[in-house]
Chain A
C-alpha cells in the first residue's frame, strides 16, 4: 500500500506500508544495528520515535516471544528498506508484519533509507509523519511541524510500569502497589541483593542481567518516592533507561537526590542522565543521537575498549560534572563524549550506553557484576 513519509523540514519520501493502512507520527531516528529489530521495537526508550533501520533487509528471522524488551511495541513507526515476509529461523513464531499490525504500529518500506539516514545525520533527528491516506507532501509536512518536540517533554509517564513487579519465569510478576509499604516484600532477602529498579522505561534484559548477577529486582513506577524506596530497605537502587529528555523528569531527579548515598546506585542511559542532574550536572540534546551496536567505549579504569549498544539522543554535559568526587569512567572513542561516571563517596555509578545489550554486544555485561560487588562491599 502506498505511503508517504514527510519530515518537518519539508523533505519527503514516497514509500509503501507493509502493515496496511495507518498514520504514524514521531521523531525519526536511525539505528545501525544489523540484527535485533524486535528488541529495538520493544525498547521503551524509543517511545515517541520512528526508527529507521540502516540495514536494508528487515524481518529475515521473524519474531520470537523471548526477544521482547517490554510488554509491547514502543516505537511510533518502523522504517525499513525492504521488508522480508518470509522469515527463516528455528525460533521464529511469526512475521514481523503481523507483529506490527497486532501492535498497531505502522511499518513502511521501499524508500531510500540511506538517503533518509544521511539527511538526519546532516540536519539532526526530526519530527515526521507517515500516512497511507494523506499522500500530499505539503499537507503532511505541515502535520509533522505540529508534533510536540522531544525536548522539554516528559515521556517517562507513558512507559513506566503502572504496578510494581518482581521478575519470575522470565517475565514480570506484578504485585499490588500497596505492597510497596512492606519492607518484608522481598522473597530472597539475604540470599540475593535486594534491588529496587526505578522504571523510566526499563528494558527486560537489564532485569535478566541483574538477576544473573545475584540480585532480586523489584521494579517500581517512576514516581515512587524516596521515602517509599528507603522504607523497602533495598541493598541497591537501579535507575533505568527510558525515552526522551531528562530535564522535565523533575520528580525522578528529586527522588534520586534524596537517595544519593543511601545505598549503592547504578544507572543506565536516562538513568545516568537523571543521576547526573541529581548530582548537579546538566544534560543536552545531541544532534542525531547514538543508536546502534558498534560504538567503541573505553573504560578509563582498565583502559580496555568495549563495543557497546547505544540508544540515546540526550547526554550529560561533561563539563558540568567532574566536580567533587564525580569522575569520568568511560569515554566514547568516536567523539570523546562522556559514557560513564562514578562517585565513590556516595557509591553511585552509571553508564550512558547499554551494558544489557539486547540488541548488541555483551562486552559491558561486567557492569552488573560490578554493581553486585559494590553492594556487597557496602554491606560488609
Chain B
C-alpha cells in the first residue's frame, strides 16, 4: 500500500537533552525520520529542547519548536499547529512518555490527532510490567518472576516468593535509576528503600535475577501488512546484571546455533504481533540460560532505541528512516534498500564482519561514586568498531575509546603481567566495572584458566578465548622483538594490533614500526558495509578497514575534504561537535566538494551513511586516519570541528604531510601553549588573569602567594576542566596538589588567579583570517569559576555594559587576526572590577556553536567550512553580528541522579551531559523554559528553602525578598534566617542536618519544600549542604547552588506566575532577526 494521503501534517517529539541512557542516537533517528517524512511531502512539526541536534535545525523540519519536551508543550503545539498525526516512537523514552501523557489529557481526541507508529495501547502493553507479563504468557513466553511493592513489608513478602538474588527496579524512573541487585536481605532493604525513594510513585518492582545468563537483543521491524523482519541480532559480552547500555556488545550474535537463533527470531515476531506494534522498529531483549538454553524475555521497547541506532550502523539498514516510512503507510516491500539500490528494505541484513560496541564511562569525573556497573546505566557514550574478526574489531574499539589505550593492552599502560592478582583481581572480575576488560587481560596473563574466569564473570568462554588469543599473540610479538617476521606482523595486524602496541612490544618507535610495516607491504584495505554480505553490488560507500587482500574503496579524482569526527561521547565532548561535523559535510556538498567523514561513534548523525559522500567508520588515531588520507589523498582535512580528539591529532597529521585546512595547527598551538599564548596577549595588549606554573607543591605555594588567593589550579592540557579546582588557601592547595601530581606525575600544574564573582562570557566568532564577525556573545548566569559547559548562559548578554561588549568584540577580532583564524574561534572572557580578562581562547568550533547558530539563525559551522575552502566572509554575506530581539538561554543538564554520593555542586570541572535551550522575548520566560526543559519542576507557590554562606547573604537578599513578595514561604537555617529577618524577610526556622531532627532534609522528604537555594562548599557547611543537595536530587526538587542561579530561577518563576509560557517555532524567531 502506498503512503497515506489522509495525513498531511505530522508532529514528532524529540528526546530533549542528552542524558545518560538517552544520547545523540535519538538525534540520529529523529533526523532520519524528519528527512524521510519531508521527502514524502509531509509537513513535519518537531518539538525538541536540545539545540545541539541536527534535528532542531530549521531545515530538518518545517516547524521546529525548541521548547521543553513536556505534555504542556505538546498540547500547546497541537492547539497551534493542528497536526493530523503524532509519531511518538522516535524520541526515546522521553518522547514516548511525553506522548502518552499528552494523550491521557484527551488532546489527541479533541483535535483528532492520530497516534501513528505505535498506538497508546501497544505502548502501554510493552511498558507496563503486568500487561507485558500477561501478553508474554498468552504467547507462551516467560518473563522473570516479579512483583511490586510500595513499602518495606511488601518488599519482604514479594522477595520471599522470588528468592535471592533478585533485582530491585524502582518504577517510573528513567534507565533504571536507583535499581540494583540484592544478594541478601540487608542489601534488599537498602536498595528497596533507595528505590522507593527514587520512584515517582513510591513503588519498586522486585524481579527474579537471571544474573549470569547470556543476554541478547534483536532489532525487529514490522509494517502494517504484518510483514516482520529482523534487522540485527546483538550479543552482550557482559552477562545479565549489567545494563545493556553498559555492556560490551557484539553483532551479530556469536554463540547461538541456528536452532537457538531462530527461536529468538520466532519469539521476537510473536512479541511484535502480540504487543501490537503496528509499524516501525522495536527492540526485544532476551536472557538465555547458558546451562540449558532456557529463554526469558527481559523487555521490549516499542520504539527506536540506542540499540536500533547501533544496529543501523552495524548493518547499514536505516531503521529510523524505514520506521518513519512504515508509519505513514508504506510496507517494507515498497521501500528500496538505499545501500544496494537494487533490492528492497524487506529483507534481513547479512553481515560479513564483526561489530563490537564498547561503552565509554566517566567515573573519573565522579570520584565519590564507586566504579561499579549494575542494572542502572552509567556510561555516557560508546564507540563501535568493525573488523573481519572479533579480535580486530575489539582492539579497534578499545583504541577508539579515547581513554589513552592503543588496544587490548600491550601499550605500556598496564601494570606488569602477573602483578595484579589475588583478591583485587577476583574482585575486579566478579564486580562489573569500567575497567573490567583490562582485568580480564590481567587474569589471562596471570594464567587464570578460562573456565575460572567464566565462572567468576559470566562472560562467555568464546569471548574469553578471543581475548586469550590476543594476549597469546602479544607474547609472541614480544618474544620476536625487533625481528618480527612478516607472517607474525601480518597476523598482529589481523588481530587488530595498532602500530603503537607493536612498537611498545618490540621496543621500537611508532615510526619505525610504521616504516617496517609499509616496507613489508602490510597496509589495510577497506571493505564495504553493504547489508548483504557482498551478494549484491553496494551503491553506498560506507567503509571499514581490515587487513585482507582486496580493497573496495572507490577513490575518485574529485576535490575532496576529510572531516574528522569526535569519537565517543563523553562529558566535555558531546553531540555539539558532531553537529559541527555534520554541518561541515553539508557545506562541502553545497560547494560541490566530496565529503568524507571519519568517526567511531555509532550514535551520531555524522555516521549516518547518507550524511557525507563517504563514511569511514574508523578509530580516530593517527595511524587509522593516516591510512585513510593515504588512500583518499584529500584536498584538505578538517580538524577543528570534532572537539579535542581530532585537534590532538592535528600537529601529528601535519607533520606527516596531511593538509590541514582552516586555522593552522601552529595557531592552535599558540592558543594552547601557555607561553606562546601569554606572548600573543602581551603583543595585543590584552589581559589574562595573573598566572604561573608549578612542578612541585613548593613552587605552587610560591606562585599562589604571589598571585594571591583564591586561585584556580589545573593540570596542563585537560579536557572539560578535568581535575580543575578553585583553591582558597594553602591547606586546600596542598591537598589538591597531592592529588593532581599523583594524577599526572610528569605534567605541571597551572595556577591562575581566580576571578571571584566576576561575570563570565563565552564569545563565538567566525573569521576568514582578515575579517571577523561575532557569532554570539553569551553571558553566563553563574559567576566565573563554574565550567562554561555547566553554566547556564544567555544570548544576548543582559547585564553587561556596552563598553565591555565593545572591548570584548575588539579583543576577539584582534586575536582572530593575530592567529589568522580561518573558521571558528571561541573566547572566554571574565569581567571583574570593570576589567575585561581573557580566560581562554579556543581556535576551533566550541560547544556553544549549535546553540549560537540556533539563536541567531546563522549556520556558523557551515559558513566556517566554506571559509576553510577559501571563501571570504564578504562573499558568504556574513557581514555583521546578529543580535536577536529575544533571549536565548542555554542550560546544562547534569547526571547527578545517576551517581550515588556525588555532591551536586557546580565547579570548574565539567559534569553535565547535555543542554537545553529556552527562547522567549522575556528573559524570565526564557529562563523558565530552559529550567523546565532541563527537568526542573519550577513551583509557583509553596516554600523556598534558603541556606547560603555568609559571603552570599547580601546577594541572596533580593532573591529572598522577591520570593516573599510572590507569596512563597521562606524556610531558612539559623544564620540565614537571622540575616533575612534582620532585613525584614519573615522566615520559618528549620534545623540544619547537623543540628538534630526534624531537620531540613526531613522537610524535603515530607514534601514541605518546593525549591532549594543552597550555596557553599566551605568545609564546615559542606556535609550539611551535601545532604540537602542530594535530597533535592532524589526528590527532584529544583535547586540552585549559586546566588546567580537562584536569581535566574526567581525571574523564571516570576515569568511563570505572570503568564503561561508561549510556544513559537524557531523559524518564526529567525524571521524576527531579519527585521532587526
Contact = CB atoms under 8 A, between A and B. Distances in A.
B266 A362 contact: yes
A264 to B, nearest CB: 27
A9 to B, nearest CB: 16
A358 B349 CA distance: 18
Nearest to A64: B257
Contacts of B678: none
Interface in B327-350: 331-333, 342-344, 346-350
Given A82-B388, A357-B262, A361-B265, A294 B349 contact: yes
A55 B351 contact: yes
Interface residues of A, number: 53
A305 B389 contact: no
Given A54-B352, A86-B461, A67 B257 contact: yes
Given A38-B257, A84-B462, A304 B548 contact: no
Q: Is the interface of A mostly helix, strand, loop or mixed?
A: loop
A293 B535 CA distance: 12
A57 B548 contact: no
Interface string B924-958: 00000000000000000000000000000000000
A57 B350 contact: no
Interface string B679-703: 0000000000000000000000000
A171 interface: no
A54 B533 contact: yes
B963 to A, nearest CB: 63
Nearest to B257: A61
B534 interface: yes
Q: Which of A38, A114, A303, A361 has the most CB of B within 10 A?
A: A114
A81 B255 CA distance: 17
Interface in A9-52: 13, 30, 32-36, 38-39
Nearest to A295: B347
Contact of A88 (B259, B332, B462): B462
A346 to B, nearest CB: 30
B292 A90 contact: yes
B440 to A, nearest CB: 15
Interface string B45-65: 000000000000000000000
A67 B259 contact: yes
Interface residues of B, number: 56
A81 B344 CA distance: 28
B347 A334 contact: yes
Contacts of B844: none
Nearest to B547: A112
Contacts of A86: 461-462, 465
Contacts of A82: 388-389
A89 B255 CA distance: 6
Interface in B566-623: none
Nearest to A63: B257
Contacts of B460: 88
Q: Is the interface of B mostly helix, strand, loop or mixed?
A: loop
A218 B261 CA distance: 30
A118 B344 contact: no
A60 B346 contact: no
Interface stretch (B171-179, B221-229, B368-376): B221-229
Contact of B257 (A91, A115, A334): A91
A304 B350 contact: no
A333 B340 CA distance: 14
B349 to A, nearest CB: 7
Interface string B738-771: 0000000000000000000000000000000000
A334 B344 contact: yes
A121 interface: yes
Interface in B346-395: 346-354, 388-390
A330 interface: no
A33 B258 contact: yes
A66 B257 CA distance: 11
Contacts of B331: 305
Interface string A269-307: 000000000000000000000001111101000011101
A57 B260 CA distance: 17
B227 A304 contact: yes
A121 B535 CA distance: 6
A294 B350 contact: yes
A249 interface: no
Given A114-B534, A296-B344, A303-B225, A61 B256 contact: yes
Interface pairs A-B: 10 shortest CB-CB: A36-B258, A115-B550, A54-B533, A359-B258, A88-B462, A86-B465, A35-B258, A294-B348, A32-B350, A112-B548
9 contacts: A35-B257, A54-B350, A57-B354, A89-B256, A117-B535, A121-B537, A305-B346, A334-B347, A357-B262
